Structures are given as structure tokens and as C-alpha cells.
Amino acid sequence: MIQFEILRQDSGKKLHRYVRQTLPGLPLSGIYKMIRVGRIKINGKKGKNDTVLMAGDQLTIYIAEEEYSQLAKTKPKFQGVPGDLDIVYEDEQLLVVNKPVGLLTHPDETEHKDTLINRALAYLYRQGEISDGRSFLPATVNRLDRNTSGIVLIGKDSETIRELAKNVREHLVHKQYLAIVWGKLFGEGDIDDPLTRDHMQNITRIDRMEKESAKSALTHYRALGTAAGFTLVQIDLISGRTHQIRAHMKALGHPLLGDVKYGGKTAFEVEHHLLHAHLVELPDGSRFVAPPSPVFTSVLQSTGLRRYMPS
């Protein structure tokens, strides 16, 4: 028999999912059968498929060591992925990183390997915080577009991920961005225009006709200073719709520098939008700040907007 102690990062996982992760070579039908016939026990008692595991539980799998070794063999998808990370903060439950421009948060059809989450997994794997096949895999709580830089929260255990995700849904996580926009913008205000997504064209549009598909979206902006025909803007994201800031700033008549998709022309050889997730504050008062990307900083310097940067 093989015995495990359930770790904190696996707390809240259902039994069949944990065993599937532990024995990736065993089909789900085989896992269900092992549970049904009593070959998998929790704290000495026969388990059920939907048994929820808790930290400290003792899991026993009645299986020969040779068979276990064969079924447990797996190669994590993050092996060979660069572990380069700009770490803002880290503790036992949370990893906060500053995502660079050009890196996807999650894999998509264009890139499956070198993404922010895979880099984080590679880093944690090399630190010994996650292991082949067994441990719950950490996950991002928020995500940023490929060319948006800044703070991404990565929960290391299911409890942390659930709690942070709940706080995000309830708008208890304060997210503040910095953007460089075209034109001279002064003062501050709210943009409260509902949005719809055109998935075919991957674009978000303002929808004031109150269509059923429209989703409410609220953005608060404050102009920090203008120079050379551009404005540095501080943006508080009240809701979190896809491309919300980009669509709202276009509607305001001040699209982001480089954001061709939303009406912003290129300048300073920058061919992507200049948007940076500058600050995240959690309900418990934890506050994380990340410096802008090198290209963002270069434009700040070139335009003279650098003097308006918040401390």
C-alpha cells in the first residue's frame, strides 16, 4: 500500500480528482473502481468519489509499489519552461509577480509553453513547492492581456485561490492601472458605459442600446499630467471586463498610445498599447506595487511624463 498526507495546497480537492492527479497513468474508470471496491481509504475509512479532502487527512491506496511507480510517471508540462519571474511578493499562500509585455498569462492557440503561469509553475517546481503529478497546481487569480504589463496574483493553494477569486467577483480587490493616452486630458471622472464582446474580431464595443448581451462596466480615471500631446492617466478598474480600459478610453476620445485596435496611433516605435497594472490592494490591506515595463518607462522619459509618476 502507498500512503500520503494531504497537504494544505490540496485541501478542498475531491478524492477522485486528487487520485487522478496522483496516478495520471490510470484511467478515470479505473480510479472509480478502486474507490468503489475500497482500495482507496481516507483516515482508514472507505472513500467516495466526491469525498472532499482536508489538510492532514491520511490517504491510503492499496496498490503494489511497482504498479504505483508505473502509473505515477508523468512529465509536468512546465518542465523546460524558463523560470524567469519578476517577483513582487511571496509567502506560503501567495505569489505576486510583475508580468512583462509580450508574455501571455495563460496558454492559447499561439503559445502553449512559455506563459506566465507556466513560468510560475516552473519556478515553484524548482523551489520544491510542487512535485511531479501529486500537488495541487497553483493558478492565477487575475489575468492580463499579452501586451499589458503589471501585477498578477497567483494562489499557491485552493483555499487562497477560492478566497481571492471571491474577493475579485465582489469587487473587494482594488486594481489600479497606469496608461499613456493620446491628447490632453484633465481632471477625473467615471466612464459608465456597458460593453459587449465581438469574439470573432476579438474586440470590445460600447453598447448604449442596452442589449441583453451587454455587461455593465465602470472605470474611474484621473489625469496625472500632460506633456508632448500625451497624458499619463491613473485608472481604477471597478469592474473587470475584457479590454474594458481600452474600450472606455477610446469612448472618452483618448485612446491608449499604440492601441491601434482601439483607435490609438503608434509613436516612439511602440506598436502595442501602453497599459500597466500598477497596484493591487487586497481586502486585508495588503498592497502590491510594480514598476512599469522598460518600454513604458522609456516613453515616460521621452515625453516628459515621468515627473507625473505616482510614488
Place of cell 484633465: 186
Min mean pLDDT across 88-92, 130-134, 144-148, 251-255 is at 130-134
- Amino acid at site 291: P
Q: Is the pLDDT reported for residue 197 higher than 80?
A: yes
pLDDT at 102: 94
The whole-model pTM stands at 0.77
C-alpha cell read off for 144: 492580463
At 66, the pLDDT band (50, 70, 90 cuts) reads confident
Report all structural domains of the chain as residue ranges with CATH numbers, in order of start. Answer: 2-71 (3.10.290.10), 87-164 (3.30.2350.10), 171-308 (3.30.2350.10)
Under a CB-based contact definition with an 8 Å cutoff, are residues 195 and 214 in contact?
yes
Q: What is the pLDDT of residues 214-273, one digit of tens each?
A: 888 999 999 999 999 999 999 999 888 889 999 999 999 999 999 999 999 999 999 899
Can you tell me the mean pLDDT for 48-71?
88
pLDDT at 78: 67
pLDDT at 77: 60
Please measure the distance between the N-terminal and C-terminal CA atoms of the chain and give it in whole angstroms: 58
Can you tell me the mean pLDDT for 302-308?
97
Under a CB-based contact definition with an 8 Å cutoff, are residues 288 and 280 in contact?
yes
Catalytic residue list contains 50: no
Catalytic residue among 114, 145, 207, 236: 145
**Share of residues in the chain with pLDDT > 90 (%):** 62
